[in-house]
Amino acid sequence: MMFDFKRKIQDLRISMSDIISMVDLEELKKEINLLEEKSQSPELWKDGKKGSKLMTILASKKSFYKNIDQIDSSLESYFQLSQEANKEDMVILEKDSKEDLESIEKIIEDLKTELQFSGEYDNFDALITISGGAGGVDAQDWASMILRMYLRWADKRKFNVDLLTTSPGEEAGIKSALIRIKGEKVFGLLKGEKGVHRLVRLSPFNSANLRHTSFALVEVIPDFQESVDVEINNDDLKVEAFKASGAGGQSVQKNSSAIRLTHRPSGIVVSVQNERSQSQNKNIAMQILKSKLVDLEIQKNKEKEDELKGEFVSAEWGNQVRSYVLHPYTLVKDVRTGYEIADVNSVLDGDLDQILLEFVKFSRKSQIG
């Protein structure tokens, strides 16, 4: 009994030591102080959204720091008591501390999870572009299934979603879609989704019902919105207005309120059609274009760094990240983490949490290793 208690304390202290070794507490304290200073600025609160976002980040960092400090102190106290206690005292100590140690263990697990989301942009919302690959109606149907999967996941998570634009397929599905998902650590959760998603099934669009392989490309970037200031030269922009399309390509608006922006130097194209007002769609399209330009620079810098390490992976057609097999067996497999699940339908219905967290853990281990 005494040995089990001492071993429990030792194991928890080791876990806590591992966490502390991955965190620069002095730097974290500086970040908290800086955010507290910024929160006092009247300029910040002229934009309520910016103020609220900063306060959310500040509260998260303060809670993280406080938990580390308190748990480390509590475990040190328990350790000292366990070293000094006799056999009778140890029995009492173990009984009295049972609930507290269970609580400490849970907080440590929460801290470990929190550490997984240590990326610079993990707290940002996410912009997700889904594009059907070659293969006609099957690929377009698969793209719409991927879109539904993310919409269902966001709904289960109680995240807010803006369907910014969709390009319907000729017979079924979609050629492409752009959505914004807003919520806590959305980009941190979804950043590993970028790449090619592969589906194997019996084609519902083939009269012979033959087995068919379809591909869809998913791109995920942080939604920077007003957090970055990007200057865009008007001469570099091509602005086009068009009528929003519904299912089957039919027009759903009489006026040309949808907007397409083409940034000539980068070749980036952004289309937005979810608002009725052309000016609103243009404002949203400009925000998204700025996010894409910032992400482009980030990826260029990352590519240069990772090329030296041999680690660079981009969201291109050659980069397959996950397979979904519906025939001749059922299996979802992430090709990077090796994680597998047989219940394909639950995944396609938005049960993505475990798959996403497995990649987050995998990514974190890769960074540390």
- Same CATH topology for 121-223+323-369 and 227-309: the answer is no
Q: What is the pLDDT of residue 368?
A: 54
Cα–Cα distance list, 273 to 128, 148, 165, 176, 332 (Å): 15, 19, 5, 13, 33
pLDDT-derived band of residue 1, with 50, 70 and 90 as boundaries? very low
Mean pLDDT of the chain: 87
Considering only residues 366 and 203, tell me which one the structure prediction assigns the higher pLDDT: 203
Closest Cα to residue 271, out of 279, 280, 262?
A: 262
- Does 248 score more than 50 pLDDT? no
Beta bridge partners of 332: 324, 341
Give the Cα separation of 345 and 66 in Å (integer).
Answer: 41
pLDDT-derived band of residue 267, with 50, 70 and 90 as boundaries? very high
Give the Cα separation of 3 and 79 in Å (integer).
Answer: 13
- Does 341 score more than 90 pLDDT? yes
pLDDT tens for 47-94 read 777 788 788 888 988 999 999 999 999 999 999 998 888 888 888 888
pLDDT-derived band of residue 328, with 50, 70 and 90 as boundaries? very high
CB contact set of 359 (below 8 Å; sequence gap of 6+): 192, 334, 336, 337, 339
Q: At what angle do helices 2-21 and 87-116 cross, to 10 degrees?
A: 30
Q: Is 46 helix (H, G, I), strand (E, B) or coil?
A: helix
User: Are 222 and 291 spatial neighbours (Cβ–Cβ below 8 Å)?
Assistant: yes
pLDDT tens for 273-284 read 888 789 999 999
Most trustworthy range by pLDDT among 135-149, 217-231, 273-287? 135-149
Cα–Cα distance list, 285 to 35, 221, 260 (Å): 30, 14, 8
Considering only residues 118 and 357, tell me which one the structure prediction assigns the higher pLDDT: 357
User: Are 68 and 20 spatial neighbours (Cβ–Cβ below 8 Å)?
Assistant: yes
pLDDT-derived band of residue 242, with 50, 70 and 90 as boundaries? confident
Torsion of CA 160, 166, 169, 174, to 10 degrees: -30
Give the Cα separation of 192 and 188 in Å (integer).
Answer: 8
User: Are 249 and 319 spatial neighbours (Cβ–Cβ below 8 Å)?
Assistant: no
Say what the pTM is: 0.74
- Does 309 score more than 60 pLDDT? no
Residue 241: in which H helix or E strand, if any? Answer: strand 237-242
Lowest mean pLDDT among 105-119, 293-307, 331-345: 293-307
Q: What is the pLDDT of residue 316?
A: 60
Q: Which residues of 121-153 are buried (b: 16+ CB within 10 A; e: fewer)?
A: bbbbbbbbbbbbbebbbbbbbbbbbbbebbbbb
Q: What is the pLDDT of residue 306?
A: 60
Q: What is the pLDDT of residue 121?
A: 87
Q: What is the pLDDT of residue 255?
A: 65
- Does 254 score more than 70 pLDDT? no
pLDDT-derived band of residue 157, with 50, 70 and 90 as boundaries? very high
Give the Cα separation of 305 and 303 in Å (integer).
Answer: 5
Tell me the average pLDDT across 302-324: 66
Looking at domain 227-309, which of 3.10.20.30, 3.30.160.20, 3.30.70.330, 3.40.309.10 is its CATH number? Answer: 3.30.160.20
pLDDT-derived band of residue 311, with 50, 70 and 90 as boundaries? very low
- Does 313 score more than 60 pLDDT? no
Q: Does domain 121-223+323-369 have CATH number 3.30.70.1660?
A: yes
Classify the C-alpha dihedral 313-315-318-322 as positive or negative.
positive
Sequential DSSP letters for 265-327: TTTEEEEE-SSSSHHHHHHHHHHHHHHHHHHHHHHHHHHHHHHHHT----SSTT-EEEEEE-S
Q: What is the pLDDT of residue 84?
A: 87
Q: Is 310 left (phi over 0), alpha (psi -120 to 50) or beta?
A: left
Give the Cα separation of 183 and 266 in Å (integer).
Answer: 29
Q: Which one-letter DSSP state was computed for residue 171?
A: S
**Domain limits of the chain?**
2-116, 121-223+323-369, 227-309
Tell me the average pLDDT across 327-349: 96
